[in-house]
RNA sequence: GGCGGCGUAGCUCAGCUGGUCAGAGCGAGGGUCUCAUAAUCCCUAGGUCACUGGUUCGACUCCAGUCGCCGCCA
């Protein structure tokens, strides 16, 4: 059986889920559903990163122990993703004992192999970044991101002998052109590797400075530093379901993330895997930022659109549609309310929603919902069918290439044709004369087939909508992507479809604002 | 400073290896239908394809330089 393993980064619990997190989840969820529809067994891992200076500091600010703080914050993510309906197979908390044990086991293994050494280190440390800064990075003596001076710290730490594995990592990415997507991020990684500027990786913090972390198994005075802890969640999430699950899924791993954490995933992680004697992940899938004006949507900056509020107000599929349709995966995209409303109204309300409404309405009015025989074969009929046959071919292809915006565009081209078909064939005019009713029935049957095919192709993009459509059609989802349209085979003789329902109400911001404050 | 990338109609963007490539969607204006969520459908955009040179019979598409954005690295 084919398998597909997809991960998101584990999210740092210093803030609530934001749009960036949500986008990553939507992509991972969409990929998992797509591969499942293609017949693969899938596994999705996400989670929360709960260790580190910043978390300890935030907990202290709230006057609570770090674990209490983490126990309060982590469920915000878990609950959010559940509310959004994402198909999470394992939610990994880095404070989970199962995860901690694996991190320790891995640390010990690498240590035993001689790839971890002890050394003195001095540098300028920014607690905001949780890393050492170079002199050159400073702006006016301050950290450029956090606008405050770093501390001069000199201490002894453990280092992972990453340099030993960099040539092999470089070879791997040279040999596997698709291992990092999109291409230009692979080029950046290769440039980084070729520059020779990458050294060994500091993987510890003395407990005297930071207690909130996983203890090094070979030195109890130290805890593990972030990446050696966090990245291993991709493995621990699988191992929590057993060694067989790990062995089955790991080689198919697809790590989805935003571009800011490319380096740890493309350099540190493969080095770690090589040191551990594990196969490398299959691919890194790197997406851009949602920008609003100039600033990026980051967890440290304030201008955050609250995805859960949007979900509550407009529904998860409306949010999913906008995110997937508006961003070309890999590039930045801008998020603003006008674009959101325009897109949703034009495509979802006026396009898909209205088509469903008008077709089911006529089916109800002229035939009491009873589906009529599919007969006749006019040029318009063939045209319509060709449009959907093309969508059935293109949508999965574009999805496979992570061009979600193109996939949806392709599907909407077909939907536009369906709306045009209604006008061109004018069943509502034909229906005035009883002798035309067989033709009217055939036209509507074809349109119902359009909705069926659309529901199939939306099943990984807009799962809720897809389900609603199948329910309106009175049919079950086939659960997979069929190889051909199969029009004429879905509705048994005498089958009744349900009366129309509003899938996506038009958004009228001005009226909402005038009438009442929008719910938040 | 080194190396990507980008700059195409009001907006968001397509345009692969040069010759129906000057396009799509949205917005805006006009019209039609009435099944439908005042939705659908049809018509309407003359934008020097950032700028300047060059290669070529011919460049938005190749080359060089300039300006402006952005990313990565140092």
| pLDDT tens readout for residues A475-484 | 999 999 999 9
The sign one gets for the Cα dihedral A321, A326, A330, A334 is negative
CA A69/CA A59 separation, integer angstroms: 5
Residue A49, pLDDT > 90, answer yes
Q: Which residues contact A333 (CB under 8 A, 6 or more apart)?
A: A288, A290, A291, A326, A327
Are A289 and A364 in the same domain? no
Are A375 and A468 in the same domain? yes
Q: Which nucleotides of B are covered by protein (CB under 7 A)?
A: 2-5, 12-14, 25-27, 33-42, 71-74
Distance from residue A55 (CA) to nucleotide B52 (C1'), in Å? 55
Are A85 and A9 in the same domain? yes
Are A139 and A25 in the same domain? yes
Are A284 and A413 in the same domain? no
Q: Is residue A87 part of a domain?
A: yes
Which among A84, A143, A202, A224 is annotated as catalytic? A143
Are A234 and A192 in the same domain? yes
Give the pLDDT score at A135: 64
Range in A20-34, A194-208, A426-440, A472-486 with the lowest mean pLDDT: A194-208
Give the pLDDT score at A414: 93
Q: What is the dihedral of CA A200, A202, A203, A208, to 10 degrees?
A: 160
Which residue(s) pair with A215 in the sheet?
Answer: A223
**Nucleotide nearest A192 (Cα, C1'):** B73
- pLDDT tier at A134, thresholds 50, 70, 90: low
Are A321 and A355 in the same domain? no
Burial letters for A171-199: b for 16+ Cβ neighbours within 10 Å, e otherwise?
eebeeeeebbbbeebbebbbebbeeeebe
Range in A127-141, A247-261, A469-483 with the lowest mean pLDDT: A127-141
Give the pLDDT score at A133: 67
Q: Smallest Cα–Cα separation from A452: which of A429, A471, A426?
A: A471
Q: Is residue A386 part of a domain?
A: yes
Compute the average pLDDT of residues A312-339.
Answer: 87
Q: Is residue A99 part of a domain?
A: yes
The question of whether A18 is a catalytic residue gets the answer yes
Burial letters for A103-121: b for 16+ Cβ neighbours within 10 Å, e otherwise?
bbebbeebbeeebbeeeee
Q: In the 229-288 stretch of chain A, whose C-beta falls under 7 Å of nucleic acid strand B? A: 259-260, 263
Largest CA distance in chain A: 92
Q: Which residues contact A188 (CB under 8 A, 6 or more apart)?
A: A262
Are A298 and A210 in the same domain? yes
Compute the average pLDDT of residues A185-209.
Answer: 87
Residue nearest to nucleotide B36 (CA to C1'): A358
CA A332/CA A352 separation, integer angstroms: 27
- Distances in Å between the Cα of A279 and the Cα atoms of A92, A273, A342 are 21, 7, 46
Q: Is residue A338 part of a domain?
A: no
pLDDT of A341-384, one tens digit each?
888 999 999 999 999 999 999 999 999 999 999 988 999 999 99
Q: Smallest Cα–Cα separation from A329: which of A415, A392, A404?
A: A404
Q: Is residue A342 part of a domain?
A: no
- pLDDT tier at A304, thresholds 50, 70, 90: low
CA A314/CA A22 separation, integer angstroms: 15
The question of whether A146 is a catalytic residue gets the answer yes
Are A28 and A106 in the same domain? yes
Cis before A182 (ω within 30): yes
Are A283 and A364 in the same domain? no
- Assign residue A410 the CATH number of its domain: 1.10.730.10
**Nucleotide nearest A353 (Cα, C1'):** B37
Compute the average pLDDT of residues A285-303.
Answer: 59
DSSP element (H, E) containing A49: strand A41-49
pLDDT of A335-348, one tens digit each?
877 788 888 999 99
Q: Is residue A336 part of a domain?
A: no
Are A319 and A381 in the same domain? no
Q: In the 405-424 stretch of chain A, whose C-beta falls under 7 Å of nucleic acid strand B? A: 416, 419-420, 422-423
Q: Is residue A497 part of a domain?
A: no
Q: Is residue A431 part of a domain?
A: yes
Are A304 and A377 in the same domain? no
Distance from residue A342 (CA) to nucleotide B28 (C1'), in Å? 14
Residue A406, pLDDT > 90, answer no
Distance from residue A178 (CA) to nucleotide B49 (C1'), in Å? 32
Compute the average pLDDT of residues A54-68.
Answer: 92
Q: Report residue A34: phi and psi, to 5°.
A: -65, -50
Q: Which domain holds residue A409?
A: 349-473
Where does a domain end: A293, A326, A359?
Answer: A326
The pLDDT mean for chain A works out to 89
Distance from residue A423 (CA) to nucleotide B32 (C1'), in Å? 11
* Structure tokens, A405: 């915006």
Question: Does the CB of A334 fall within 7 Å of any strand B atom?
Answer: yes
- Assign residue A306 the CATH number of its domain: 3.40.50.620
Compute the average pLDDT of residues A251-267.
Answer: 93
Residue A293, pLDDT > 50, answer no
How many domains is chain A built from? 2
Residue nearest to nucleotide B14 (CA to C1'): A406
Distance from residue A297 (CA) to nucleotide B52 (C1'), in Å? 38
């Amino acid at each position: 059986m084919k398998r597909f393993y997809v991960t998101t980064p584990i999210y740092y619990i210093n803030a609530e889920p934001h749009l960036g997190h949500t986008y990553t989840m939507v992509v991972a969820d969409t990929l998992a559903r797509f591969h499942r529809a293609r017949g693969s067994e899938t596994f999705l891992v996400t989670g929360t990163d709960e260790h580190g200076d910043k978390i300890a500091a935030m907990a202290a600010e709230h006057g609570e122990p770090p674990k209490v703080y983490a126990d309060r914050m982590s469920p915000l993510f878990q609950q959010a993703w559940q509310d959004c309906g994402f198909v999470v197979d394992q939610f990994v908390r880095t404070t989970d004992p199962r995860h901690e044990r694996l991190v320790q086991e891995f640390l010990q293994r690498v240590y035993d192999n001689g790839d971890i050494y002890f050394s003195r280190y001095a540098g300028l440390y920014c607690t905001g970044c949780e890393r050492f800064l170079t002199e050159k990075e400073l702006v006016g003596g301050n950290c450029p991101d956090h606008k405050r001076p770093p501390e001069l710290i000199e201490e002894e730490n453990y280092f992972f002998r990453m340099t030993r594995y960099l040539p092999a990592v470089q070879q791997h990415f040279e040999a596997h052109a698709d291992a990092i997507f999109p291409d230009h991020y692979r080029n950046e990684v290769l440039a980084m590797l070729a520059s020779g500027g990458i050294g060994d990786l500091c993987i510890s913090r003395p407990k005297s400075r930071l207690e909130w972390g996983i203890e090094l198994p070979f030195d109890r005075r130290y805890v593990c530093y972030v990446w050696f802890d966090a990245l291993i969640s991709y493995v621990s999430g699988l191992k929590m379901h057993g060694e067989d699950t790990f062995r089955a899924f790991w080689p198919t791993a697809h790590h989805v993330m935003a571009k800011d954490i490319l380096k740890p995933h493309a350099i540190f992680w493969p080095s770690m895997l090589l040191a551990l004697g594990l196969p490398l992940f299959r691919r890194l899938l790197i997406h851009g930022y949602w920008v609003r004006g100039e600033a990026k949507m980051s967890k440290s900056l304030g201008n955050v659109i609250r995805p859960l509020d949007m979900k509550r107000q407009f529904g998860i599929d409306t949010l999913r549609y906008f995110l997937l349709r508006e961003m070309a995966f890999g590039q930045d995209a801008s998020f603003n309310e006008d674009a959101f409303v325009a897109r949703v109204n034009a495509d979802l309300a006026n396009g898909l929603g209205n088509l469903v409404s008008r077709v089911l309405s006529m089916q109800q009015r002229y035939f009491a919902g009873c589906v009529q025989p599919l007969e006749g074969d006019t040029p318009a009929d063939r045209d319509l069918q060709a449009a959907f046959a093309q969508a059935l071919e293109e949508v999965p292809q574009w999805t496979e290439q992570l061009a979600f915006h193109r996939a949806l565009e392709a599907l909407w081209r077909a939907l536009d044709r369906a709306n045009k078909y209604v006008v061109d064939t004018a069943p509502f005019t034909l229906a005035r004369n009883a002798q035309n009713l067989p033709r009217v029935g055939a036209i509507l049957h074809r349109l119902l087939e359009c909705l069926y095919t659309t529901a199939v192709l939306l099943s990984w993009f807009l799962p809720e909508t897809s389900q609603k459509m199948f329910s309106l059609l009175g049919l079950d989802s086939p659960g997979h992507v069929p190889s051909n349209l199969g029009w004429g085979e879905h509705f048994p003789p005498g089958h009744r479809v349900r009366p129309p329902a509003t899938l996506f109400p038009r958004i009228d911001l001005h009226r909402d604002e005038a009438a009442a404050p929008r719910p938040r």
